[in-house]
Structure 1
Amino acid sequence: MRTITLMVVLLMSIVGTAQNVVQGRVIDGFDQPIPGVSVSVKGTDVSTITDFDGNFTLTTEKDYPFTLVASSIGFDDATLVVTSQTGEVTIVLEDITFLDELVISASRAPERLFESPVTIERYGIKEIKNAASADFYGDLENIKGVDINTNSLALKSINTRGFATFTNTRFVQLIDGMDNTAPALNFVLGNLVGLSELDVASVELLPGASSALYGANAFNGILFMNSKNPFDHQGISAYAKGGITSQEAAGDNEFYDVGVRIAHAFSDKFAAKVSFSLLNGTDWLAADKRDLDNPGATRENTPGYDGLNVYGDEAKGSLRGLAAQNPGVNPAVLPLLPDTVVSRTGYDEADLNDNDVESLKFDGALHFRPFADDFEVILASKLGRGTTVTQDANRTLLRNFFLQQHKLEIKNDNFFLRGYVTAEDAGDSYDIRFTGLNINNRWKSDSQWFTEYIGTYLATIGANPNDPAAQEAAHAAARQVADTGRLIPGTPEFQQAFESVTNDPDLASGSKFLEKSSFRHADGNYNFSHLTSNFADIQVGGSFREYKLDSEGTVFTDIDGPIRYSEYGLYTQFQRKLLDERLKLTGSVRYDKSQLFDGNFSPRFSVSYTFGANKTRNLRASVQTGFRNPTTQDLFIGLDIGRTLLVGSAEENLDRFTTVDDFNNVYTARDAYENSYSASSVQRFAETGDINDLEVASIDIVKPERVTAYEVGYRAQFGAFIFDGSVYYNQFEDFIANENVIVPGQGVVNGTPAEQLLAVQSLASAGTRRTFTASTNSEVDINSYGAIAGFTYKLNGFDFNASYTFAEQDFDQEKDPDFRSNFNTPKHKVKASIGNDELFKNFGFNANVIWSDDYFWESDFGVGAIPSYTVINAQVNYSIPVLKARLKIGANNIGGDEYFTAIGSGFIGSQYYVGLSINNL
């Protein structure tokens, strides 16, 4: 009896712990396997991921029948009831169309893209895998309405709806909710220190104003990059790319790009991930030697030559004026000297920049779900180091530039609360222009060089001071003598001077960019829709940010210690569906307050209506406001960049910045606003000599900029054909930009007649006046408008896409000739692509073309025309199921016609690559 009882107990134990094993395969509507699908047993924590062939195996203790749930981004979820032990099961996932995809950023809550109240674009895992560009971030330019200014192989600046420079302060980029704007540089760093392509789950783009939900500076657009959650995307994945870049100026150069991601869920409560990527290569060399004032000029035929990508030749002046300022020159010889501008011999950018480019990124995150449900605690860090060139007023080599972000976030389906810090360290960065200027001064001062030049010119010109041939010979002889002993690139003497200058943060003698600024940010949101859905979906939220500017007086006027200031914002949104959920009304409002400015309200209202029997057409309209606070540089910069003084206009900054000229005349930032002439009027005065041409500059200290944006859009699906288009009109108020003014070294522009006369006399010599570039607001109305239309079409496995963008500004330059709006956007842009994931077994391809109209570029570095260009990119790929790998071969800018997107940047050549990705599901 005891034996029988023991056997019964043992049998019951075996039955109680019996495990059911299910094997299966997940395919799409075309019978193709889908890798990376999450398959779980409903009601349990048992789950797995399909392999490269779509296969999966699950083991569960749950009794039959039970339900399998399969989900993957880009597909509708599917369920399958397993009633007994059978052979392999098959689960079919149907594609989600572009209009059915879920987006979050438009309303801070999940909703169908089709029903979004405003224009929104989405770029996901599928698009990343099929990208023809060598890097996924560059491939974002294929999104309709998006422009990318290519500053470097590793640094690209996204822009939407105009008004952009490389330091695009009107555009925001959030990575997992963190703003990766560099605190002192004031602009988004692209993907230089962003996400590895292995860790990108989705990218969402909101063009236009979004301040009602996202606050200051969400002005012309906002980009959301969301990484993969380690609970949902587990395993080890890796990629490696290599190839060459080909450019006429730099030749053919190798590059490589490698990355790895490791993620694991240790239980249903704890998961972790790390990712690493490294890009290394040779950058697009900036070698544009056009003269800034005379495009046809060269160093050989122009004494005052000032080349665009030549540095050190900014030290210049009128030969007669320089002689008049030199106490060693006999005034009697001044009539023998022409009023010709003469500049020092400069160095090419290739002499001052080894042109290396590098991007090193590391991400790590711990995810904790204490109750094994949607409540999650995330501790994440992102570290990035890069070497590349950026361009603003000058070109700066960011060498070993370091940015770090650390975040703690608590969230569930209804709320989030996060806090993070962003900190930068300029590393070994330096200003390329000042490197050239101060290397020149290391071996011979400007005063000595020009003295030798003048003396040799006078000794050579002889009795024919007005003979052009004699003048040309005298200039040549003078430069030869003055350049005696010049440091030659490649020599030990030059290298020693280069190292000394680039490690000296004093711009009077060096060029090092010394910067360790940071900001702290906290924000939160609560969605009450689970409580108020019978009435409306209601959200509330807010944010707080504190800046700490720390450049030790080299960029900002923080010589006495770091500058701190803060801002905060509060918002709410109401959303209601009516008429069988076809009519969707959304209203939101936000209040923001900066420590330095009055508070600002940003309301938004939108309405959309879905019609058609199957709800496949949608009409939307919105009016929203946006604002942006002046940047840290607009407020607190105090920087002498040679040809001009950059000054911010925070009240405390006006008297904190001072400089002295060679005649001991003192200038302050306040002078730019209260004692200056407009630069254009001084130029007219120099040409005519008529004092009536002078205009006193009447610029105010900078204040926040505002925009009111109107938009109407239409989305529709007709079978396999999908259309999405919109038109918009933006009205700007207090548009922020820089204005050039001339401050006289003596006198008062609005003073007594004697003081005004003294000020006019000071304008006669460049040595007794200074040019200021001051942050201010335009008093002239500035508007912009445009239209965007695109379609997608699927036919027999082929994906066809095409889009057209029109953009224009309405700004009367004649009303404010010294003000630059920096629209910097082509009026017309056309994009098209064709691809097939499975042209035949395991083989796919994708190709796209981008045509850009010509446009005019404005920035502090330079202005000029950007010619139209056409770029063709293509890739072919081959899947290797046995290795769970994909081989990709691609080319960017096929044909090799070099182009550029900004004045002063390197011409963009071709890029050819071969890449292999493993287990990137």
Structure 2
Amino acid sequence: MKTYARLLATMTFLCAVSAAMAQTLKGVVKSGESGEGVPSASITLQGSTIGAVANEKGEFEIRVSSLPASLTVSSVNYEAQGVTVVNTSFITVSLKPMLGQEIVVSASRFNERLIESPVTVERVSAATIKNTPNASYYDIIGKLKGVDVVNASLTFTSPTTRGFAGSGNTRFNQQVDGIDNQAPALNFSVGSIVGLTELDVESMELLPGASSALYGSGGMNGTLLINSKNPFNYTGLSFQVKGGAMNLGNKWRDASPYQNYALRWGQKVSEKFAYKITGEFIKANDWLARDYRNYGRVGTNGMIKDGTRDTDPNYDGINVYGDETTVNLKALLSGIGGQVPFWQSYISQLPENIPVSRTGYTENELVDPNTLNYKVGGALHYKITPKIEAILMGQLGAGTSVYTGSDRYSLRDFQIAQYKLELKSDNWFVRGYTTQENAGESHNLTATARQFNEAWKTSVTTDANGNPTPQPTDWYMQYAFAYMNAKMGGMGDAESHNLARSVADDGRPAAGSAEFTKLWDETRLRPIYQNGGLFLDKSDLYVAEGQYNFSSLVNNAVELLAGGNWRQFVLNSENTLFHEDDGPIKINEVGAYVQVGKEIIKDRLKLTAAGRYDKNEYFKGRFTPRFTAVIQPAKDHNIRLSYQTAYRFPSTQQQWIDLAVGSGTLIGGNRVIWESYDLIDNPGYSAQEFVADPTNRIPVPYKEIKPESVVSYELGYKALLAKKIFVDAYVYTGTYENFIGRRDVVQFYDEADPTKYRGISVVVNSDAKVKTFGWGMSFDWRLPSNFSVNGNLSSDEIKDVPSGFRSSFNSPKYRSLLGLSNSGFGPNDLFGFNLNWRWQDKVVFEGDFASGTLNPIHIIDAALLYKLPAIKSQLKLGANNLFNEYYTNAIGNPSIGGLYYLAFTYNL
């Protein structure tokens, strides 16, 4: 026993001596340019695994066994610096900023410097988000070169690169912490409605162009990766309060407040366990879609034409709903002529086609302007070993917004929940996650308004077989009698139509009245197939994926990684959106990829090859290769060359949608749906030729839809000049095969009667190859006294689009940005500012909802910042669209004006 007691005493003594000898070093890491603390700087003890991460002020503590000690201090955007410490005095380390040194992973799924990436990459840092004038961090994406954005509402932004912009872009991928951010039924990313709050974003990486070789189906035109802050590195409480005003100078909507509240709490409980909780709440009166121009529809397509409600009896306003219902008044009058013989001769002299539409309601009258968006999330992080981390996370995004697709949709009580379990290490990861979508009380404005009109007063009564049996109480019968009475009384045609409308509309519920609200709520809450506007979507997405970096196993002779994934869509809309005769639709996909990289000539030439194979159960497998080369002719000068391929399987909607919209119907490419509309035996005719000449009937037969693919070549150049100017430029071409789009057809019920047809929009592949090409350039110039100038200019074009084929390219030929900022001036460099000007050329916009020409856009955004270091806070006075120049970036989307706000942020 004495021996054991001596041994225990000896061990206790040695531990005490060791603890006494250990030294705690304290210090701060600052920017050598601005003097600000560098958050999340890495401090490591050379020759060991001991390290620390600086807090938000750049402060750190690290324990070493003895002195002197050699430390390495590093951070993205800065040159790493070695420091030798000889005593325990407080240490101040000044890092020199370096442009182009940011670490990115999107280009190759490897950590690499931005300046060395083999393809075009844009990176947005937490510091950029902190200083941006934009009220939403997500809108920063629209300021990067080659990027187009479409705003369907305040909280629904859809970015894209290299063309094909629209509300919801199925050629553009978005991932948040590795989670595909698409809504399973809508089949595209839902912007910032669900995902991270501003306080929890560490960085964003944008990969323009073809990216399927590493990221799978949908990466035709780009991939956006958004990364969150790890609670092991970012701890403590952060919160942000933004308050402001919008809708100023808007005669259609009163000025209204803008409110945005966000919170983040990160806690490192121990070296093994950390957690975080996040939340955000946005409330505002949304921008108003108020394009009241007249629209001539054929099926789901059309064009803007002259006329107003007073001058055109068949007026169909773009943002007016319910006026899509139209009949040929002459057909009704011919029947009336048999009841009123003395009208017969007059009626026979009228034109054969007198289209008349029902009276509609504007979006301002139908949609609750009160936009709400809340996001809550949380994550548990546990380090199983120092190098293996387990993450369990969940996030929920919900609220009320408006979205533009084939129609305008009021998204009420819309919810998307995402849950993920992940294991990751330096060399590998494996994760599984699910996305659960619930449309809540979301409804189609066009369908709801048309059925609202029918519920108030039937257009034309029909029998059990659908044959017209007009009744005196029908809206069109009242219109017809009033029209004829006015004409026989000597009134002009326009006056007769307007009088007839006032008679038929007598007693029409006024928007906002108790009668209107009751009937509207009853209609919007009925499913579409029950003569309402509600779609009952509860679709899900399930994904399992993993990746392993084999480089260390081959002694880093090459960079080698491989990965794969499985995913399943479960479409469940109860026949309100999809063709679900046999219940929910399941779609399975599997994919695998491999990438090999090798530095052929040290510091001069690096080659990389990657390939991916994917299989969708409804389509043949697809292989997509990628080859890249990075040439360094001189230090900090890199030339990149790439051959990239990409593909996308038809989206879930392009496969299975079955939805009546406007004056037509959208259907998917699955043969089952074509058969249900008898389009196999009774094919539709091309609507474009039919409109020009009703006798010109070109059939559109059924063809099995194929996956779309693109081959893209890119040449790029990055350089750091005099360590102050970072430049980036690229030029690219793309050739699309089996290009997927929509084509409008007219299908006749009776070949002998040209008035008996319906418009259907079908999904087809282009027989011709569609080509795109473009270029872009940007610069970032760091000037003395903390000033910085940045700018970019880019262009995208398309050619060889077949006649009658809607490509929805929707990109301006030219777009540019010019910015000026200062990160610290005035007393103690406490002030800062950010000013930028955005411009884009006019756009001929094509969409499923409406098409037309958009005017050029000139927008100035500005922010003035003031730091409060004593309380770790910042004040920001920001203005988006400073001069309040209202603009739209898609036909039928809202007019966006100035948003002015004051933000207080603690511990950002």
User: TM-score per shorter chain, which class?
Assistant: over 0.9
Q: How does 1:170-181 map to 2 (within 5 A)?
A: 170-181=171-182
Classify the secondary structure of the residue corresponding to 1:289.
coil
Corresponding position: 1:348 with 2:353: no
Structure 1 contact 684–694 (Cα < 8 Å) conserved = no
Structure 2 contact 42–75 (Cα < 8 Å) conserved = no
Deviations 1:109-140 (A, max 9, x none): 11111121111111111110111111111122
Deviations 1:160-219 (A, max 9, x none): 000121121110100001111111112211111121111111111110001111111111
Q: How does 1:172-571 map to 2 (within 5 A)?
A: 172-247=173-248, 248=250, 249-293=252-296, 295-324=305-334, 332=344, 334-335=347-348, 337-338=350-351, 339-371=353-385, 373-447=386-460, 448-462=474-488, 469-507=491-529, 509-571=531-593
User: Which residue number corresponds to residue 856 of structure 1?
Assistant: 844
Classify the secondary structure of the residue corresponding to 2:609.
strand
Classify the secondary structure of the residue corresponding to 1:151.
strand
User: Which residue number corresponds to residue 788 of structure 2?
Assistant: 799
User: Which residue number corresponds to residue 661 of structure 1?
Assistant: none
d(CA) in 2 for partners of 1:896, 1:406 = 40
Q: Which stretch shows the higher mean deviation, 241-250 or 166-175? A: 241-250
AA aligned to 1:621 is L
Say if 1:493 and 1:68 are closer, same or farther in 2 by CA, change over 3 A: same
User: Which residue number corresponds to residue 81 of structure 1?
Assistant: 84
Q: Which stretch shows the higher mean deviation, 559-568 or 252-261? A: 559-568
User: Which residue number corresponds to residue 839 of structure 1?
Assistant: 825
d(CA) in 2 for partners of 1:820, 1:386 = 32
Q: Which stretch shows the higher mean deviation, 286-295 or 17-26? A: 17-26
Structure 1 contact 784–809 (Cα < 8 Å) conserved = yes
Structure 2 contact 34–823 (Cα < 8 Å) conserved = no
Q: How does 1:635-674 map to 2 (within 5 A)?
A: 635-655=655-675, 657=676, 667-668=677-678, 670=680
d(CA) in 1 for partners of 2:740, 2:673 = 17
Q: Which stretch shows the higher mean deviation, 472-481 or 206-215? A: 472-481
Corresponding position: 1:114 with 2:115: yes
Corresponding position: 1:875 with 2:863: yes
Deviations 1:850-884 (A, max 9, x none): 11000100011111000001000010100011111
Structure 2 contact 29–54 (Cα < 8 Å) conserved = no
Structure 1 contact 833–846 (Cα < 8 Å) conserved = yes
CA deviation after TM superposition for structure 1 residue 7, in Å: 13
CA deviation after TM superposition for structure 1 residue 896, in Å: 1.3
CA deviation after TM superposition for structure 1 residue 587, in Å: 0.8
Q: How does 1:147-162 map to 2 (within 5 A)?
A: 147-162=148-163
Classify the secondary structure of the residue corresponding to 1:413.
coil
Gaps of 5+ in 2: 1-7, 297-303, 461-473
User: Which residue number corresponds to residue 751 of structure 1?
Assistant: none
Corresponding position: 1:901 with 2:903: no
Say if 1:780 and 1:13 are closer, same or farther in 2 by CA, change over 3 A: closer
Classify the secondary structure of the residue corresponding to 1:299.
coil
Structure 2 contact 418–433 (Cα < 8 Å) conserved = yes
d(CA) in 1 for partners of 2:340, 2:180 = 60
Corresponding position: 1:49 with 2:88: no
CA deviation after TM superposition for structure 1 residue 640, in Å: 1.3
CA deviation after TM superposition for structure 1 residue 463, in Å: 6.8
Structure 2 contact 434–543 (Cα < 8 Å) conserved = yes
Corresponding position: 1:33 with 2:70: no
Say if 1:424 and 1:495 are closer, same or farther in 2 by CA, change over 3 A: same
d(CA) in 1 for partners of 2:330, 2:380 = 69
Structure 1 contact 319–337 (Cα < 8 Å) conserved = no
d(CA) in 2 for partners of 1:862, 1:7 = 85
User: Which residue number corresponds to residue 743 of structure 1?
Assistant: 747
Structure 1 contact 846–875 (Cα < 8 Å) conserved = yes
User: Which residue number corresponds to residue 470 of structure 2?
Assistant: none
Say if 1:328 and 1:555 are closer, same or farther in 2 by CA, change over 3 A: farther
Percent identity over the alignment is: 37
User: Which residue number corresponds to residue 102 of structure 1?
Assistant: 103
User: Which residue number corresponds to residue 141 of structure 1?
Assistant: 142
d(CA) in 1 for partners of 2:518, 2:338 = 32
User: Which residue number corresponds to residue 93 of structure 1?
Assistant: 95
AA aligned to 1:820 is R
Q: Which stretch shows the higher mean deviation, 699-708 or 179-188? A: 699-708
Structure 1 contact 839–845 (Cα < 8 Å) conserved = no
Say if 1:904 and 1:325 are closer, same or farther in 2 by CA, change over 3 A: farther
Classify the secondary structure of the residue corresponding to 1:369.
strand
CA deviation after TM superposition for structure 1 residue 94, in Å: 2.3
User: Which residue number corresponds to residue 647 of structure 2?
Assistant: 627
d(CA) in 2 for partners of 1:860, 1:7 = 82
Q: How does 1:715-734 map to 2 (within 5 A)?
A: 715-719=718-722, 720-734=724-738
CA deviation after TM superposition for structure 1 residue 324, in Å: 4.9
Classify the secondary structure of the residue corresponding to 1:370.
strand
d(CA) in 2 for partners of 1:9, 1:305 = 92
Classify the secondary structure of the residue corresponding to 1:552.
coil
Classify the secondary structure of the residue corresponding to 2:191.
coil
d(CA) in 2 for partners of 1:40, 1:244 = 43
d(CA) in 1 for partners of 2:672, 2:487 = 52
Structure 1 contact 37–70 (Cα < 8 Å) conserved = no
Corresponding position: 1:64 with 2:64: no
CA deviation after TM superposition for structure 1 residue 68, in Å: 4.5
d(CA) in 2 for partners of 1:781, 1:906 = 34
Q: Which stretch shows the higher mean deviation, 492-501 or 65-74? A: 65-74
CA deviation after TM superposition for structure 1 residue 299, in Å: 1.1
Say if 1:326 and 1:858 are closer, same or farther in 2 by CA, change over 3 A: farther
> What is the number of residues matched between the two proteins?
869
Gaps of 5+ in 1: 1-5, 658-666, 747-758
Match of 2:25 among 18, 22, 26: 22
Match of 1:677 among 685, 695, 711: 685
Say if 1:912 and 1:669 are closer, same or farther in 2 by CA, change over 3 A: farther
Deviations 1:778-809 (A, max 9, x none): 11331110010111111102111111101111
Say if 1:329 and 1:238 are closer, same or farther in 2 by CA, change over 3 A: farther
Deviations 1:487-531 (A, max 9, x none): 111211101001101110135521112100011111111111112
Structure 1 contact 676–697 (Cα < 8 Å) conserved = yes
Structure 2 contact 78–95 (Cα < 8 Å) conserved = yes
User: Which residue number corresponds to residue 3 of structure 1?
Assistant: none
Classify the secondary structure of the residue corresponding to 1:195.
coil
d(CA) in 2 for partners of 1:452, 1:895 = 49
Say if 1:541 and 1:476 are closer, same or farther in 2 by CA, change over 3 A: same
Corresponding position: 1:821 with 2:810: no
